[in-house]
Each structure stands twice: as structure tokens, then as C-alpha cells.
């Protein structure tokens, strides 16, 4: 059994949580490999909803939960989430090299957004960007530094005192964080090695999505970490050949929370309908998500750059509520049609989508058989992206999943 990597192919909120929960059975452990508590991964079982921000989405399957060195860890959020999963038989290990998000990072996140004024990114204000930035400054504490009290926290406070109106006392936070982190800190890359050496496999769970990647996304309207499969080896501390196959998760339309370019964004009417049917509100911030049509140009880019061979397609039930919908086949820019997303990236604000129209999905969902209109969409996606569509999801609940 090989390791498997799950990544989002759009701007996040593709339904990765559901897919990870569904697939977790075959794996020893699930590893969160990027971002921090800006993420919100939802798992629904028998009508009860669980949203994970920091822990991998496999607690309900009683899997071991690993948080890699490349994640920005907020001890307060972690503490809350661990208490929610207490009743499941899971073991949690957080890599001792991971970056810690402090209350100061959260204050800084808010302040930098205010400084940007009308060009604010619309971050989740969870302090993830500042924590990674401070890591690059060599000022942010790692998990190990909190535990051993070894980092010169005074330098971090001094740095922040130049920007923040008031730097609160952190002793209480440090003490609480130390108690928590001592119990769960470990060497995640060694844990993965041991599992693989014994013939077991792990699932790498990405957060956010390809188009929010710090380097390859719609910069500057992106998150502060890598979101692609190529971030896995760096973040979790395994060689690239151990990443395994890559499965991409794509919603059959697109959404985006926060500001930034969104070529296939729909008009208000369609947006309201889809948002309502798909409950498209941020699971971390509650903000209404912006809505767009399925965009094959950016999907092709995401498939290529992640090395995706298998795809999970989600939320088909939502489009089945529309009379018809559109799919973006190409971009028109400078009087030319192109399917080359990377080429368009520097002037992504200027591209105009070229659509095929008249698509429909009828409500023909079944665990054993997909109806004709669903099959047509799957065939189209497989052919256009040269991937295998492995899972099709038509509702939040774990049971509403068709496996091919």
C-alpha cells in the first residue's frame, strides 16, 4: 500500500475533509501538511457535522493524527480541537519543528489587512501569514522552543512592539501552550518512516487549494504556505518519491473566499442560488463565498502542477438544482483564445472566460450507479484533464459518495 496525497484543485473548500474521512480506512495515519487554523475541513456522519481547522480530518475514523513541521500551529485552537476528539481512539503527534502561531501573529494579521486598505487580501485573520513571515525572520518559536523555553521570546516581542500598539503579556499563554505541546510533540517524519517500513501507508491532507499557493497561485491573493503536492516532502520530512499518488479534489463549480481574481465568477442571481443550495459560507470565518462556474483552464493547470492522476468530484447535488450550467473551456485575452493558465497569470484580471453552455445534471444519485447526465460530466472531465474520476460526492454526508 502506497502513501496518497490529497490536494485541492481550486481555491479551497473543494470538500477535502469529506474525501479524507472517506478514504482514511486504508491508511495508518493522516498527516496535515500545510497552512494552519485558516483551514476548515468538514466531515458529516449521520447528520452530525464536525469541522477541523488544525487536526487532520480522520479523528472520526480513529486514525493517528499527525501535524507536520510545515504547518503553522496555534496551540489555543489545537487544545480546543483535541478536547472535541477526546472520545475517539486517536493519537496525535505534532512535529517539534513546526512553527507556533502566537496571539501576536493574530493581532499582526488584522493590522496588515487594515494597512492594505482597499487591496486587503481578506485573510482569515488566524495569524498564519505573520507566523510564517516571522519564521523567515528567524523570530517565531517552534513547538520545541515553547516546550524547552529556549527561544529568546524577548526578540519576538521587541519586533512586534515596533508595530503593535500594545504587546500583551504572554507568560500565561506560554505556560498553557507548554503543558499542551509537551504531551503531543514528536518527530513526525520518523513516525511516517516507521509506518512505511512496516508496510503501512499514510494519507497526506492538504488544506486550501492550488490557486491559493504562495508561489503558484493568484499572488498576492493567496495564502502564506505551499498548498501543492510538491510541498509535502519539505513539510513532512520525507523524500519526494514517498509522496505517493496525488488525488485532486474539485467541486463541480468554483468558490473563493476573500479578495482576488476569479475569472468565472457568476452574476449575483446564480451566486445566490448556488450559495444557498451549497451552503457556501466559510467554515472558518462564516463569510459568504464568492461563486463561479467550473473552470477547466485553471483545473488543467492544477492537475499538471500537482501531478494529479485521480480526481474526486464533489457537490454534484448543488448543480442538479439548476436548470442548466456553464463550463469555462478557455480564456480570451488580447484577442486570442488560450487554455494556458500560467501564461495568463500575470494578467489574470483581464481574461474573459469562454463557456460551453447548456450543461445539466439530473438528480440521479446512487451509491451503485450514476445517471446518464452525471456520467457525461465525468467522461468530459476525464477526457479533458486526462485523469480518473474515482469518487463522486453528492451531499455532505459520508454515505453520499459513489466510488468508481
Binding site for ligand IMP (CB under 6 A): 11-13, 38-40, 121-124, 126, 128-129, 207-208, 212, 223-224, 257-258
Catalytic member of 21, 28, 41, 50:
41
Catalytic member of 13, 21, 28, 105:
13
* Distance from C-alpha of 398 to C-alpha of 76, rounded to nearest angstrom: 29
> Least Å distance between CB 363 and ligand IMP?
27
Nearer to ligand IMP, 196 or 227 (CB): 227
Is residue 127 left, alpha or beta, with left meaning phi > 0 and alpha meaning psi from -120 to 50? left
> Least Å distance between CB 273 and Mg ion?
21
> Least Å distance between CB 207 and Mg ion?
8
Pick out residues in 7-36 that bind Mg ion (CB under 5 A): 13
The C-alpha cell that represents 78 in the structure block: 489545537
| Helix (H/G/I), strand (E/B), else coil: 378 | helix
Annotation marks residue 109 as catalytic: no
Instruction: Give residue number: closest CB to ligand IMP.
Output: 258
Annotation marks residue 41 as catalytic: yes
> Least Å distance between CB 391 and Mg ion?
17
* Distance from C-alpha of 308 to C-alpha of 20, rounded to nearest angstrom: 16
Nearer to ligand IMP, 16 or 242 (CB): 16
* Distance from C-alpha of 366 to C-alpha of 348, rounded to nearest angstrom: 39
User: Which of 250, 257, 262 has its CA nearest to residue 319?
Assistant: 250
* Distance from C-alpha of 12 to C-alpha of 41, rounded to nearest angstrom: 10
* Distance from C-alpha of 176 to C-alpha of 178, rounded to nearest angstrom: 5
Dihedral over alpha carbons 204, 205, 207, 213 (to 10 degrees):
20
Q: Should residue 213 be labelled a site residue for Mg ion when binding is judged by CB under 5 A?
A: no
Pick out residues in 105-124 that bind Mg ion (CB under 5 A): none
| Residue at grid coordinates 493574530 | 106
Nearer to Mg ion, 145 or 317 (CB): 317
User: Do residues 273 and 322 lie in contact, with contact meaning Cβ atoms separated by under 8 Å?
Assistant: yes
User: Do residues 4 and 247 lie in contact, with contact meaning Cβ atoms separated by under 8 Å?
Assistant: yes
One character per residue 259-298, x = contact with Mg ion (rule: CB under 5 A): ------------------------x---------------
> Least Å distance between CB 369 and ligand IMP?
32
Residues at the contact surface with Mg ion, assessed by CB under 5 A = 13, 40, 283
Show which residues are catalytic.
13, 41
Amino acid at each position: 500500500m502506497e502513501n496518497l496525497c490529497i490536494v485541492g484543485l481550486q481555491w479551497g473548500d473543494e470538500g477535502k475533509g469529506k474525501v479524507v474521512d472517506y478514504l482514511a480506512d486504508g491508511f495508518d495515519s493522516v498527516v496535515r501538511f500545510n497552512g494552519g487554523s485558516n483551514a476548515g475541513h468538514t466531515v458529516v456522519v449521520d447528520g452530525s457535522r464536525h469541522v477541523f481547522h488544525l487536526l487532520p480530518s480522520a479523528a472520526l475514523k480513529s486514525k493517528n493524527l499527525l501535524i507536520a513541521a510545515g504547518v503553522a500551529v496555534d496551540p489555543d485552537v489545537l487544545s480546543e480541537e483535541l478536547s472535541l476528539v477526546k472520545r475517539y481512539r486517536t493519537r496525535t503527534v505534532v512535529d517539534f519543528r513546526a512553527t507556533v502561531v502566537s496571539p501576536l501573529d493574530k493581532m499582526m494579521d488584522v493590522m496588515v489587512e487594515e494597512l492594505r486598505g482597499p487591496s486587503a487580501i481578506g485573510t482569515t485573520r488566524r495569524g498564519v501569514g505573520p507566523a510564517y513571515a516571522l519564521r523567515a525572520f528567524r523570530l517565531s518559536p517552534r513547538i520545541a522552543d515553547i516546550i524547552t523555553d529556549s527561544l529568546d521570546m524577548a526578540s519576538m516581542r521587541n519586533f512586534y512592539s515596533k508595530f503593535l500598539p500594545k504587546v500583551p503579556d504572554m507568560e500565561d499563554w506560554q505556560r498553557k501552550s507548554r503543558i499542551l505541546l509537551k504531551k503531543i510533540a514528536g518527530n513526525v517524519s520518523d513516525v511516517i518512516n516507521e509506518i512505511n517500513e512496516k508496510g503501512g501507508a499514510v494519507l497526506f491532507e492538504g488544506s486550501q487549494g492550488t490557486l491559493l499557493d504562495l508561489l503558484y497561485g493568484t499572488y498576492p491573493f493567496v495564502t502564506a504556505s505551499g498548498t501543492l503536492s510538491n510541498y509535502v516532502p519539505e513539510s513532512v520530512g520525507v523524500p519526494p518519491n514517498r509522496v505517493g499518488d496525488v488525488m485532486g479534489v474539485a467541486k463541480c463549480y468554483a468558490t473563493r473566499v476573500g479578495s482576488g481574481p476569479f475569472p468565472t465568477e457568476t452574476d449575483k442571481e446564480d451566486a445566490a442560488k448556488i450559495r444557498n443550495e451549497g451552503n457556501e459560507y466559510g467554515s472558518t470565518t462564516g463569510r459568504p463565498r464568492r461563486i463561479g462556474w467550473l473552470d477547466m483552464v485553471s483545473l488543467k493547470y492544477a492537475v499538471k502542477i500537482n501531478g494529479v492522476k485521480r480526481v474526486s468530484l464533489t457537490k454534484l447535488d448543488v448543480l442538479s438544482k439548476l436548470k442548466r450550467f456553464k463550463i469555462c473551456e478557455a480564456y480570451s485575452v488580447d484577442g486570442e483564445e488560450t487554455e494556458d493558465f500560467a501564461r495568463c497569470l500575470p494578467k489574470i484580471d483581464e481574461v474573459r472566460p469562454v463557456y460551453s453552455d447548456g450543461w445539466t445534471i439530473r438528480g440521479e444519485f446512487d451509491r451503485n450507479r450514476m445517471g446518464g447526465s452525471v456520467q457525461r460530466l465525468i467522461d468530459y472531465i476525464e477526457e479533458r484533464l486526462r485523469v480518473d474520476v474515482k469518487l463522486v460526492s453528492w451531499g455532505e454526508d459520508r454515505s453520499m459518495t459513489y466510488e468508481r
